[in-house]
Structure formats: C-alpha cells, structure tokens
Structure 1
Amino acid sequence: MSNPLRSELMRAWAGAAVARGLLLLALFAGSAHGEPVTRRSASPSTFHFVVSADDTSYLVLADVEKGADLPPHGPLRLTGEESLPSVIAEVSEAHLPADLRAWSKRKVVVDERCHATVSGFALVVRLVGRPDYAGINDSEWTADTVFSAGQKVLAARLDRCKGTFARAASAAPIRVARPAVNEEAVAAARADFLASEVIVQARKEQAEGGVTGALEQVYAPHVVTVRHPTTGETWISLHLRLGEAGCGDPQANVWGLYRVTARGVERTRLRLLAPQQTLDALLDVDGDGQFELLIQDDFGFSRELRSGEDKVIRRVTMPIYECLC
C-alpha cells in the first residue's frame, strides 16, 4: 500500500534536489566572503546554517537542547504543512543570552551572494512526520506538540534572502570553490576512485545482494572540478551511489576528493556517506586553503558542515516521525 507521506517527502526531495543544483551553480560560480554558527560554544565563528519557516529565513544562532535553555518567548505560532509543521515563538532582544545580543540589526551575507539584515529573533521548532509516530495520541499536530517533539533552535530572523548558510557581513570571507577544467586529471582521479578498496567492496556487496545495475552504475560517478579561489589549487570531487534507495536493500554512497599536483592527482579523502547524504558544496570556511564539506540529506531535513578530518563542525537536523518505506 502506498505511503502518502512518503510521496509528499519525495516531492520535497525533488524540490530539494533542484535547490541543491541551484546552490551548487551559485556557489561554484560565486564570489567569496565569510562569518557565524550553531552554538554549543559561545566562541565566534564564520559559519551559520539558515533554515526556513513560514516562508521566512532564519540564521541559526544556537541549538536549544534542554527546557532550561529556553529563553522567555512569545506565544507559539503553528505554521507549515500537515506533515512538515513548524512553530515560531518571538524572543525579544532583552531576553537573549548576552553574547547573542550583538546580532541585533547585524548585516549578514547568505550563500555568499545575498545581503540581508537581522530583523528580530525567535525560537524556531521544526519536524517532519505524523503525531502517532511521535507517541502522541492525536491525528493532527498542534503548536504545543510540535514545540515538544521538534528540534528547537534560537535564530535570527532575516529581512530577505533564502539560502543554506550565512555569516556576518563584517567577517572574513568564506572561500567558495569555483569551476575549473582539467580532463586529464579527472580521468586519473576517476580511475583511482573506481579502483579503490571502498568501491571494489561496494560493488561486491551490490552484486551479492542481487542489485540490478550495480556494475553499470559504478562507471558513472558524479564529478565536479573546482579551483580554490585563493590558493589556485584544482580539486576534483567524485560522488557515486550504488543501488536503489529502499528499506533493507544493499546500498553504497561513496565520496572522494582529489587535489591536482605537479606530479598528478593526490587522493585526500575517500569515505562512505550515509545512504541519503549528498555533497552540496566545498567551502573554505576558515581560510586555511583546505575545503570543508557542506553535506545535506536528500530531503533537505539535515545538514552538516564537516572538516577535512571528517569531524562534524556544525549540524542542523529535523526529527522524522514516519516510516519512509
């Protein structure tokens, strides 16, 4: 029997795929700038995620994990679709933690291409799914149940701009990868990628699992070639999914990054992504000449910024209360 929410989520995935394509085009063709973050520490940062609620963009200032962390706030306002609800509760500047008050009326840059101004603050709570999967005995979400079950963030409301990440306009630029062409290096990187132990093992598991097309798919990784805007180095990203996404079906989702040197290509990273993860962009957030990864799940519900050592620097998530099979 078909799952109506899964169909709805697949439509959301299609929209997210278009948004990812637009983001990649904008970023790989874009300019360079940089600052802010999701909080667990009050230290300054050059990166913040941007989330959307009620057709408005919010720059995420801090995760609010415990009730004790909640600042005084206004009434809960329920918005969004039935299976993608959000709750917004206004927070006055006076009730912000002291280290966040400086964000009032601050100029920011979204996705290194759109300038906005902070126009207020709010608690933003988001989730996806149905109340019964969250253990709530109700057929519809309410403001109170979404507030209880959703992911809470303290956020700065932006007066314009839609996007994925932002920084304070006064901060150092986030260096954004730019398009490059090097067919010879791409051929060498692809050959190394496909011959890697990770891919070989993935192919073996796909074949043993009886996944159709496993052998053909391996020859067509998605390749993006970029140049670092300050070092001038050329980098090659390869991303390959094996198998059909489905419950219990064997899958592999492999990503690799290569640097082009005078001696050829050098593999710098090779890792398995989670089944639904996709690389959105390569960003040099701290200006050290190395790229951080901007990763998003297929539906756009969860996003991560990862370091070169594969550590999660920032993460924004949405609880999913639904079986997606």
Structure 2
Amino acid sequence: MAEPSKVIHIRNVGHEITEADLLQLLQPFGSVSKLVMLRGKNQALLQMQDIHSSVSALQYYSAVQPSVRGRHVYMQFSSHQELTTDQSSHSRNSDQESEPNRILLATVHHVLYPITVEILHQVFKAYGYVEKIVKFQKSAGFQALIQYQSRHEAVEALAALHTGRAATIAAAFGGTLPPGVTGTNERCTLIVSNLNTDKTNEDKLFNLFSLYGNIVRIKVLHNKPDLALVEMADGLQAELAVNYLKMIHVSALAQDVSEEALLAHLSEHGSIVGTKLFEVNGKRQALVLFESEEEATEALVSKHATPLEGSTIRISFSQMQSL
C-alpha cells in the first residue's frame, strides 16, 4: 500500500461523473487544491490541502463504500505527494492505471455471513473459468483475489458485477435470494416511523441502514421528528434492509470476550432472551436475541462500531429468528 499522501487516486470514474461530483465526495474532509480527470482510464487524481484531510477521507471511505451517480468508486493514496498541471505525467504514473488484467480484487463491506471460497466461486464462475481464489481480511473489509483464465473474462465479470443486480446476490446466497426478497423492487426510499427522538438521530440511522447498501441521503422530517426518509442506492438494497430487521449478529469480538461482558454492553437497550457465542474461521462472533425488534434496533444503532474489551465490534441483523 502506498504511503499517505495529499493526493488521492480514484478508480472507476465513469464518464457520467463530473468534477463537481468528486469534489462533493471529498470536500467534507478539507479543501481540494487540485483535481485531474483521466477520462481515458476512468480515473481521477485529487490533491487535498494537507495529509490530515486525505487520511481522514480514506479512513472514512474504508468503512463506507463511496458511490457517485449509482456507481461505486474506489480510493487509495497516490504514489505522488504533489500534482503538477501536466496531465501527461499522471498517465504514466504507478497508481494502477495500467490496462485491465485477469485478476479482480473483490471487497465486501458489512459481511453478514461467512464468505467461503465456494461462495465466491459460485458468484464469479458465471463470467468465465476461475483459475484461483485467494481470500483475506483487511481494514477495508473482507477481500479476495479472483484469477480468471483470460483478461476478457475478468473485464466481463467486472462490468457485470458492478451493476449489483439480484442475480449476484442470489449467487452469494447459494443460488436463491433470501426469504422475503424478490430482487424486483425498484423503490429506493424507505419510510422509518415511530422513532424514539431522544435516542435516534441521522448518524444512528446511518449505522442501521448502511449495513445493507449505499445510502444516498437521510432526512428526518422537522414537522414529524419521529419519521425519517432513507434513500438507498437501488431498490434491491432497500428490500434487503426491510427484510433483515431481526435478531442481531455481533462480529469482530475480542477472542477472550465473555458472555457476561457482551450482555453488560448491550442489555441497557432492552431485555435479552438468549445469546450464543461461536467462532467462524477463528473469528469470535455472537448472536443476541432481544425481546422485541425495537430493542434489537436500538442496540444496533447505539452500539455498532463501539469498543468492547479492546475490539471495535460490528453489529448487523441476523437472518435467523431463533437461537
């Protein structure tokens, strides 16, 4: 990985994405002093005012998938510390701007269930002959390298999977969509009602719904503060969110965490009727069943990404309804 730099390299910048769109992504973290669009390679280089701003931006987007006009974009530090005005110099740099090859890097944020090599093969084999799969865990989330027999197959897979259609989700679940999910919903906006205004805000709603996709915007209605609108990037993500508000799944636990410590951390949000601690691929995880969905939701939005015995825990809703 490149050393921290004021310059951020952005990939998968489609022709529909404008300079203003990219500025909107990064200006919340600081001033952008220079921007170079590399249209021929679907890439861009942006120079922040200082390294602190660029580090803050990449730390945020390592946990939240940035999306512009419905397209995922990918960020990393550039190998350049400064940008010049000569665009031709950037087209020869080493920021992975070479021609496509036959190896894809797949990143999965907010993993709900263990992802095996078999599941990955099921997803990617539809686009060509998969020679090799290597999976690993990074700070950005679960990642895997998928090697195809030819560059053409890799390019086809990349183009198809970037659309995020229901067939891809179905493949990840073993060939069928999860119960209750049709994959045909086109409505992207969810109405969230009966909010506890003392305990819920836009940040906590983001914690809740970002588990199921990219959030375009969240609006709490001023005249009815117990009501909010949450717009997801597409209808499938909205449908997944609606169908998974059940028992919570806690991951990224410390290996020696006790059931008592976990209960103490979560029980302030409601009555817990059952817990189950287990390991998947050497990672400590837990299922926690609350008495009501309201209590489980409050626990998720309040305790997702909070520290517990030296680890920052991650919480999502489980597909299971009983232990």
Same fold (TM over 0.5): no
| Higher normalized helix content (fraction of residues) | 2
- TM-score tier after normalising by the smaller chain length: under 0.3
| Higher normalized strand content (fraction of residues) | 1
Query: What's the TM-score, normalizing by structure 2?
Result: 0.26
